[in-house]
Structure 1
Amino acid sequence: MSSNTADKEEHRRKRRIMSKAFSAKALPNYANFISSKVDELSVKLNGGELRKGSGGWRSFNMADEVNYLMLDIMGGLCFGEAFGFIAGKGVEMMANVHARAVRIYMTGQEPLLKKLYLDRILFPHLFKAANALGQYTRLYTEKRIKSRENLASDQDASKERGYDDILNHLINNKDDETGTVYSQNELLGEATLLMMAGSDTSSTTINTALFYLANHPRVLKKLEKELLKSFPKLADIHPNTAESCKYLRACLDEAMRLCPSMPSSIPRVVDEGGIQVVGEDIPAGLWVSVPHFTLFRNAKYFPRPHDYVPERWIVGEGEGEGVGSRAEDVKLAQTVFSPFSIGPRHCIARNLALREMTFALARIFYLFDIEPMPDSGRWMGELPGIDTRNSHFIHEQWDVFASLEKGPMVRIKLKDGIEARM
């Protein structure tokens, strides 16, 4: 019942309504809430209030911590209230998010599993977990709809938060072309989709960036230099300003290239009349796709394809790293780089996701020294085509419609003297 429907007209209708929640006008209003959640995570990582100084080296599985962060952010943005995952409330729900992703991927590859209810018999734990997530989002969706019954109180709550949550946008707006509005079941479908896609994909990218930056001191030092130069004070780093950092964005793009949050196929059905691809005739009705993981490691577009080299995205900076630095080199890479997909079904929340990710990474690396734990990542060894002089580790990732990751396992400590910048 979500905008992920295969029906093209229905998709267009829902997307026209949803677009208002992710417009240039709406996005800046989400910034303060996003900032408050990243601040909450920062205090947790430090083991106490930042202004009281360092809590010493502390060890974390950042896959968990970043997932909690993104789920809390999406809870607040969708329903107007965070779930409390950062504080340790209801964290078992994260496993249900992942289980639902696994079930979607499995039944999408073999639809008969769902059509004949075989997935309930063969994989009851996945069905139970996915159903639990559905009930969880239904509870919050119905609660949000009920709160709208007292319009004055709801408006006061939005004013106090400083933003209208996404469901409020969907409830209040109608399709300008057809005049239709979202039904309650459609709202539930969108809420579930947003919780999964909005949290899991961003957390994968943040964790990937954390992993590679922690394991590449040269890149990390260069990023820290940019952050300290760009932001004299911690308060200067804001979701509406963090995207101004060119090297930070390159680090983020390189993370999405090496470990795309949707690493495998996003299939499309060939329309009537067929198509021709590289001289090959593809008949109508056939499923076609190009896995992001494979495409983004194609040496034709990305020299040193398995290495983490953010300079490849900046004109004039990649030559010394052996990845090209001419404008045409960067343009060639950008022609195939599509982590948010392309066309009418590209990620509608792309700009929100970029703000969340750049801000979270900017704050974390501005505040903390980060080191990888032993055995954090997998040894690549002497694999063909991989330059092991620079890339001794890879971030472990599992393809489950979106993706799951292991770690990174890191040690974190507040930077010496950073209190002077607070």
Structure 2
Amino acid sequence: MLLQSASEFVQENPISVLVTSFILAFASHMYYEVFINPLAKYPGPTFAAASRIPQLYHTFKGDLNNWVNGLHVRYGNVVRVAPDELSYASGEAWKGIYGHAAAGKKVTEKDPRFYGPSFNGSPDIIRAGGPDHSRFRRNFSHAFSDRALREQQSLICQYVDMLVEKLNEEIKDNPKAHINMVRMLNLTTFDIMGDLTFGASLDLLAGTGNTNWVSAVFVSMKTNALRRMARYWPWTAPIAQRLIPNALKQQSISHYQASQGRVDKRIDGSHTMQKPDIWGIVMNQKEDLRLSRTEMYANSQVFMVAGTETTATALSGLLYYLLMNPAKMDIIVKEIRDTFEKDADIEMRALEHMTYLNACIEEALRIYPPVPVGLPRITPDEGLLVCGEHIPGKIALSVNQWSTFHNPENFKRPEEFIPERWIGDEYASDNKAAFQPFSFGPRNCLGKNLAYHEMRLILAKVLYNFELSLLPESIGWEKQKTFFLWEKNDLMVQLKRRY
């Protein structure tokens, strides 16, 4: 009798039953995530523990970094930011999450939901796992070795000298010209990386190249953040696609096509095969290490993001903090001008040993890391030991660079730009091991040497030749949105030739 009544009720009230079932299922899911899930012991907002909605909301809004950092300030060094994800602000976590696996253990893998596929679906050095990543690393390590980069010093200096010349031209007719240094630095790093990657200049500083390259790189980062929702919830794919304007989609396509066309031109131009750029070195590798053409296309896009936008971002941040701290600027300018008698003397080997210049670069990478967010890894099925605690399998973990580098437990007076912390004993208590701006372990940034060489050369030549002053509209420049990378504001300065 009771079953018959229940059946009749369902038939007479199907919508009410569906709604009630949905509410019960949702409530059960929430209860499990908040109270039963093995991650329930970690602090964080209840809504974030129950759903990924808060994280994706702040991703779309562009303030994910502020949100995560606020959680670390409130809850501590380990925070649950989603049902299956933890964020760390601890230096010790680098080794546990990103380091080499212990004997007999598996390493963590990149979280494919965060990164997404490459544009053409082919593996690249960022996304590839296991054997493919090892093959890519062995290929490209030669091109990014310190020895290879020293051989490329004249090429890099050529573009830095073009930057100096371009800045001179800007102020020749109008000494009070307002110069956007973010743009000038982007053009420079793109020209350098374009030549290193494709064996030919993009001609951006020369004024004849396609500057859409620069905007397309950041656009690809921004659209990937929007597509991330569909990777976490596949049923939202149509919604995510509609959220991305057609103009942005077209820019991403154009960027890929430009990379593909330049790779083809470089590889098919056999008469230039001996040039020691990236593809010249790769094509001279053993047959079993070589890349397919589609892998070359995918990796060229990676180089034109990782080797351009991040370096220009770091330099922009460094210039800003030096301009906001005139006493620090005076010290570094004096060091540069006392070390080199003339501009032509500025070279890589000497720059490596300049104490204050290198301290300024380190401090800029700490206070304004080019990639401020956490880069999530997935724990192996058997789980992982991180900071002395066992984390279950299939959990996303990351070290948030911004929160870690601004954590007062790691760095004294973390909100201040203090290059001296990298030199003397006054800041010996700082946890320098927590500072890993190029990530950590077997998959750390391959372009670290290139980035340091570029930053030293560009900074030294600009400060050797010019006096810079920050314009009032750029005060507060560091307040920016993040979409994986910073959405940089214009950095407006006035320049005056040194003599």
Q: Does 1:410 align with 2:493?
A: yes
Tell me what 1:251 maps to. Answer: 360
Distance 1:229 1:55, change over 3 A: farther
Match of 1:351 among 435, 449, 452: 449
Question: For residue 335 of structure 1, what is the aligned residue in structure 2?
Answer: 433
Q: Which runs of 5+ in 2 are unaligned?
A: 1-122
Larger Rg: 2
Which letter does structure 2 place at the counterpart of 1:111? R
SS at match of 1:413: strand
| Structure 1 residue aligned with 2:114 | none
- Residue 268 (structure 1) aligns with: 377
The answer to whether the Cα contact below 8 Å between 1:215 and 1:371 also exists between their aligned partners in 2 is: no
Deviation sequence 1:286-332 (CA, Å, 0-9, x none): 0011211111101112111111111011124xx4xxxx2x3xx3xx4
Q: Aligned residue for 1:69?
A: 188
Structure 1 residues 343-400: Cα deviation after superposition (integer angstroms, max 9, x where no partner): 111001101110001110011111110000012132xxxxxxxxxxxxxxx5233322
Identity over aligned pairs, percent: 31
Counterpart position of 2:142: 20
Moved more, 78-87 or 182-191: 78-87
SS at match of 2:205: coil
Match of 1:101 among 191, 214, 221: 221
Q: CA 1:77/1:114 → structure 2, altered by over 3 Å: closer, same or farther?
A: farther
Describe the shift of the 1:127–1:304 C-alpha distance in structure 2 as closer, same or farther (beyond 3 A).
same
Instruction: Give matches, 1:380-399, under 5 Å.
Output: 395-399=478-482
What is aligned with 2:299?
190
Give the paired residue count: 374
Structure 1 residues 414, 292: closer, same or farther in 2, change over 3 A?
A: same
Offset of residue 129 of structure 1? 1.4
| 1:113–1:44 Cα change, 3 Å | farther
Asked if 1:227 corresponds to 2:336, the answer is: yes
> Distance in 2 between the 1:290 and 1:338 partners?
10
Which digits, 9 at most, give the CA deviation of each residue in 1:101-132, with x for residues without a partner?
11233334641688946544321333221111
In structure 2, the residue corresponding to 1:369 is in which secondary structure? strand
Q: Which has the higher mean CA deviation after the structures are superposed, 268-277 or 68-77?
A: 268-277
Matches within 5 A, 1:102-141: 102-108=222-228, 110-111=230-231, 116=237, 118-123=239-244, 124-141=246-263
Matched, 1:360 2:443: no
Distance in 2, matches of 1:99 and 1:277, equals 35
**2:411 corresponds to which of 289, 302, 314:** 302
User: What 5-or-longer segments of structure 1 have no aligned partner?
Assistant: 159-163, 379-393, 417-422
Q: Is the 8 A contact 2:471 2:493 kept in 1?
A: yes
Partner Cα separation in structure 1 for residue 379 and residue 251 of structure 2: 34
Shift of 1:143: 0.7
How far 1:255 sits from its partner (Å)?
A: 0.9
SS at match of 1:25: helix
The 5 Å alignment of 1:160-175 reads 164-174=276-286
CA drift at 1:15:
0.7
Check the 8 A contact 2:267/2:273 in 1, yes or no: no
TM-score of the superposition, structure 2-length normalised?
Answer: 0.71
| Between 240-249 and 221-230, the greater mean CA deviation after superposition | 240-249
Instruction: Calculate the TM-score normalised by the size of structure 1.
Output: 0.84
For the residue of structure 2 that corresponds to 1:205, the secondary structure is helix
2:484 aligned residue: 401
Give the helix-richer structure, 1 or 2.
Answer: 2
